[in-house]
Structure 1
C-alpha cells in the first residue's frame, strides 16, 4: 500500500510529460491541415485543371496537354505575338532589371551606411519605408507621379521646362520600364538592410589586416568584403526573383496592364484568361509554368543551404 501513492504521482508526471510533448503538435495541427488543403491541395487541383478543357467552369475530363499546346501555339504562331509572348518577354525584362538594379543599389546604399555616417539612424528607416507599403499603394503613387498630365512632366512644364517629355507610362514599348522603376524603389531598401546586416557581421580584424597590407578601400571591398557576402547575394536573389515572378498588383495599380496589355506579366495573363476570358485550362497552364519557374529557383537554393548545413 505505501507504494501506491508514489506510483500514482509517477503516472501523473508521465502523463503531463506526454501532454507537453504533444501540445506543439496539437496547436500546429489545424494550421498544418489548412496549409495542406488550401496551398498544396489547390496546387494539385490547378495542375489537374491544366490538363482538362475547362472554360468558364471546371471540367474534370482529362484532355492531355491541349491547354499547354494552345498556350505555346498562340505564342509562336500568332501575328502579332500573343499576350502570353508579351508576358514572358516582359518578365524577362522586368526580372533582369529589377533584380540587377535592386542588388546593385542595395549594396551601394549598404556600403555607404556602413561608413558610420552621421544620421544613419534616420536614413535607415527612410530607405526601408517603401517596403512597408503594399504594391497597390506603390503603384498608385508612381502612377500619379509618372502621369504626363499631373505628375513629373506637368510639374516641369509649369517650371518652364516645356521641352521635357516623359510619357513612358502611356508608351506600350516602354511602359514595362515604369514597372521596373516602381519595383526598384520599393525593394532596394529591403536589399540594403540585408547587405548592411552582412557587412556588420564581417570581422573587423580582417579589414584591418587588409589595410595594413596596403589594400585600397576599393580593392578591399572587391576582393574581400563582396565575396564574403555571397550568401546574402543568393538570399536576396531568391527573394527578388520570387517577387518578380508573382508580381500582379503592382502592374494593375501602376499601368492597368498598359496600352493593349503591353505591361502584362505572367500573373496578369493568368488572371485575365482564367477569370475574364473564360479560359480556365489555359490560365491554369500558365499558373503551372509560373510554379515550375519558382521551383527551379527555390530548389537549388534549398539544396545549397542543406549542403552547407550538413558540412
Structure 2
C-alpha cells in the first residue's frame, strides 16, 4: 500500500520511476471523463446493489420465517447463485440479455418482431443490468443471514405481540428488524466487499461498455496498469479507491456507535 501511494506521486509509465511530480497524476485523473464515469458508477452500482440485495433478502427471509409453502425448495433456489462466481454470473446474464441469443431473440421467435430489450447496448441503461445480475447473485446470501437472525428472536416477543393484538407487519417493522441491526451491519460489510470486487462482473457482462458507460474504478486501474502501461495513473486511482473505502467504513462505524449510544440512552430513560 505504501509503495502504491509513493508511485502515485511519480511519473511512472511502463516501469516505476522515482521522478516526483506531486499531485499531477491525481489532477490528470479527474480530467479524464472515463474516471469520472467509473467513480460515479462505483456509488450508483454500489448503492442500488446494496439496497435491493438487502430489500429482497429481507423480504425472502420474512417469507421463510412465516413458513411459506415450499420453504425448502425456495431456500435451495435462492441460495444456488451463491455457489457461482461473479464471472459465471456475468456470463450467464450476458447470454440472457444478449439480443442475438437471449430474451429478445426468444420473444422475437414467438412472433413479436418489433420487441426490443436493448439494456446491454444502451449506455444509459447498461449499468442497471449489472445491478440486476448482482442482486440475483447476492439476495440469497442476504436471505440466509437475515433468516438466521430472525430464527434467533425470542419466541416470547411474538407471543406477547399476539396477546396485545399487534399486526405481524408492525412487529417486523418496529421491533424485530431493529433488533437485527448487527446482522444488517454484517450484510452491509459483505455487500460492500462485493462492490469493491465488482471487476469480475463488469468484465464478464459488459466489458465496461458500451463505450465506458459501465466502467468501474477496479477496471480502470487494471486497464491502465496492464494495457495502457501507466503505473502512476493506475496507482493514483487505486489510492482514491482506498480512501473511499476508508471514508465509507469510518462513516458506517460512527453511525453504528451513534445508534448504540442512542439505544443505551433510550434504555436508561
The two structures have a TM-score, normalised by structure 1, of 0.79
In structure 2, the partner of 1:228 is 179
Gaps of 5+ in 2: 265-269
Which deviations, in whole Å up to 9, do the C-alpha atoms of 1:200-232 show, x marking residues without a partner? 011011011012111111111111111112112
- Structure number, greater radius of gyration: 1
Which deviations, in whole Å up to 9, do the C-alpha atoms of 1:17-62 show, x marking residues without a partner? xxxxxxxxxxxxxxxxxxxxxxxxxx22111111111111111233
When structure 1 is superposed on structure 2, of 158-167 and 145-154 the one drifting more is 158-167
CA RMSD of aligned residues (A): 1.9
Question: Structure 1: how far apart are the matches of 2:153 and 2:64?
Answer: 15
Instruction: Tell me how far 1:154 sits from its aligned partner.
Output: 0.8
Kindly indicate whether residue 172 of structure 2 is the aligned counterpart of residue 172 of structure 1: no
Kindly indicate whether residue 117 of structure 2 is the aligned counterpart of residue 181 of structure 1: no
Q: 1:225 to 1:163 in 2, by over 3 A?
A: farther
Number of positions where the alignment pairs a residue of Structure 1 with one of Structure 2: 259
What stretches of structure 1 move > 6 A for 4+ residues in a row?
none
Secondary structure of 2:211's aligned partner: helix
Secondary structure of 1:88's aligned partner: helix
In structure 2, the partner of 1:101 is 52
Instruction: Tell me how far 1:114 sits from its aligned partner.
Output: 0.9
The two structures have a TM-score, normalised by structure 2, of 0.91
Instruction: Tell me how far 1:302 sits from its aligned partner.
Output: 5.8
In structure 2, the partner of 1:119 is 70
Kindly indicate whether residue 231 of structure 2 is the aligned counterpart of residue 280 of structure 1: yes
Kindly indicate whether residue 160 of structure 2 is the aligned counterpart of residue 202 of structure 1: no
Instruction: Tell me how far 1:119 sits from its aligned partner.
Output: 2.9
> Do the aligned partners of 1:238 and 1:297 also contact (CA within 8 Å) in 2?
no
Question: Structure 1: how far apart are the matches of 2:251 and 2:119?
Answer: 37
In structure 2, the partner of 1:59 is 17
Question: Structure 1: how far apart are the matches of 2:162 and 2:78?
Answer: 30
Instruction: Tell me how far 1:120 sits from its aligned partner.
Output: 2.0
Gaps of 5+ in 1: 1-42, 76-81
Secondary structure of 1:144's aligned partner: helix
Question: Structure 1: how far apart are the matches of 2:24 and 2:51?
Answer: 36
